[in-house]
Amino acid sequence: MSTIVGQLLTSPAASPSSVQERAAPVVSVAIPTRNSGRVIGRCLESLRRQTYPHLEVLVVDGSSRDGTCRVAAAYGATVVPCPGGLLAARYQGVLRARGQYVLMLDSDQVLEPTAVERAVALMEEGHDMLVLEERSLPPRNWLQRLFAAHRRLVHRYLDERALDPFRGTVLPRFFRRDLLLRAFERVPPDLLPRVVHHDHAIIYLECWRLSRRVGYLPRAVYHQEPASLREAWQRNFRYGRSLAVFAADNPYAGLARRRDGYIWPRRLSREDIALALQSALLLTLLKAAQGAGLLWERARR
């Protein structure tokens, strides 16, 4: 086991008081949105309740037609228009960020109140990026129960394989801004507006090539899962349409191909079997929607 992964597995739930002894750095929270009115309010409310006060909130919006921007403005967030894909939105968030650290949050995610404070404390120990433990909010229907089981399984075991950019099960969300800027310099500019799915994986791959100082923060993020199968299908159909960009000449074609496979933790205990079956059912549904989207996009061309 590498030194960094060993540190990851033994990292404590960082003490917030350790940050207070030094000048507190600003954390920029960059949230890409597109018609996120159903979920963005709860996400921003969780930021308002953070115990860490030095936050900058950027909502990078992809031409929403619902009340997303209005809700964001009401919470005091800076709204940054960005009509491109998710990768372009992530890039704009990093460019506009003023903080030393950047948290790449999604609009359907809710932060535990001490998450940012604990993350900063861990980063001050020398990490360049952090994986945040992600779980689901209490499920209200069968689909949300599948998501909850999948997230429990994914974050159950963390080792070197889990952190592998190609075949891993987790992705960091909390980064040093200077690392992200250097990582984006490695991404071909023409891909920025075209990539929707696997945007996060591309960013992590380029960061991984620059640094492997990865930490882990437990009890950090909770997902507002899709309210219906229709919502999940529409989102993943859109993701599938965007997969057409990963043609053979795309430098990330191999990354997309490998991450589109079924990624399982290396170990499965007996009590994990039920989680694994639910995870497999969920992934089958999501991959079916993505496959349909890809076929539809290819037919249009």
Q: How far apart are CA 14 and CA 277, in angstroms?
A: 34
Contacts of 29 (CB under 8 A, 6+ apart): 47, 55, 56, 57, 58, 102, 103, 105, 116
The whole-number pLDDT of residue 258 equals 84
pLDDT (tens digit per residue) in 51-107? 999 999 999 999 999 999 999 999 999 999 998 899 999 999 999 999 999 999 999
Residue 290 in contact with residue 239, Cβ under 8 Å? Answer: yes
**With 0-12 CB in 10 A as exposed, 13-18 as middle and 19+ as buried, what is 190?**
exposed
Assign 22 a pLDDT band (cuts: 50, 70, 90): low
Q: How far is CA 240 from the centre of its chain?
A: 18
DSSP string, 215-244: EEEEEEEEE---SSHHHHHHHHHHHHHHGG
Domains observed in the chain: 3-140+155-226 (3.90.550.10)
The whole-number pLDDT of residue 9 equals 37
Is the per-residue pLDDT at 8 higher than 60? no
Assign 277 a pLDDT band (cuts: 50, 70, 90): very high
**Residue % of the chain over a pLDDT of 90:** 78
